[in-house]
Amino acid sequence: MTEAEFRSLVVKMLAPLAAFPVENLVDDGTPDICCSVGWIETKLGESPKRDVSRVAIKVRDSQRTWHRRWRRTGAKSLTLTLVDDVEWYLHDGNKINDLGNMSLSDMRITAFTWWSRQPEPSELVRSLLQFADRRTG
């Protein structure tokens, strides 16, 4: 699956949260999706040959900067990573600096939620709403 296909799929799944894709040429680093819960950066990853090795995920410095600045205001952001077109990992945006530097087990431990297969749209929506409640509660 390409990044564009993944983003499109996630936007469709998050229709109940008024999700829309973002193409921002003005502010490099802006996340791929905006919805009522917050901003979501979608990423693709490849699992390593060894379990203890890092999952290959490309994160630009501008993306790290964007999340850090956004989070500093108290606003919400997340990352949603698809690894090997199978496993889905939802992380709080404050973990973006760690993406690309974690093993699969680290990704599972630090994820707000993860699925070993594509979640149902209702599961993804429910997790995002739980994330929103946790952050405001």
CATH code of 58's domain:
3.40.1350
With beta carbons less than 8 A apart as the criterion, state whether 92 and 38 touch. Answer: no
Domain tally, the chain: 1
Distance CA 69, CA 65 (A): 6
Mean pLDDT of the residues in the chain: 91
- Say which residues have a Cβ less than 8 Å from residue 98's Cβ, sequence separation at least 6: 106, 110
Backbone dihedral angles phi then psi of residue 121, each to the nearest 5 degrees: -50, -40
Region of residue 94 (phi > 0: left; psi between -120 and 50: alpha; otherwise: beta):
alpha
For 9, other C-beta atoms within 10 Å of its C-beta total 15
Q: The domain containing residue 23 runs over which residues? A: 3-136
pLDDT digits (tens, 9 = 90+) for 11-31: 999 999 999 999 876 678 899
With beta carbons less than 8 A apart as the criterion, state whether 113 and 75 touch. Answer: no
Distance CA 18, CA 14 (A): 7
pLDDT digits (tens, 9 = 90+) for 60-102: 999 999 999 998 898 889 999 999 999 999 999 988 888 888 9
pLDDT recorded at residue 25: 67
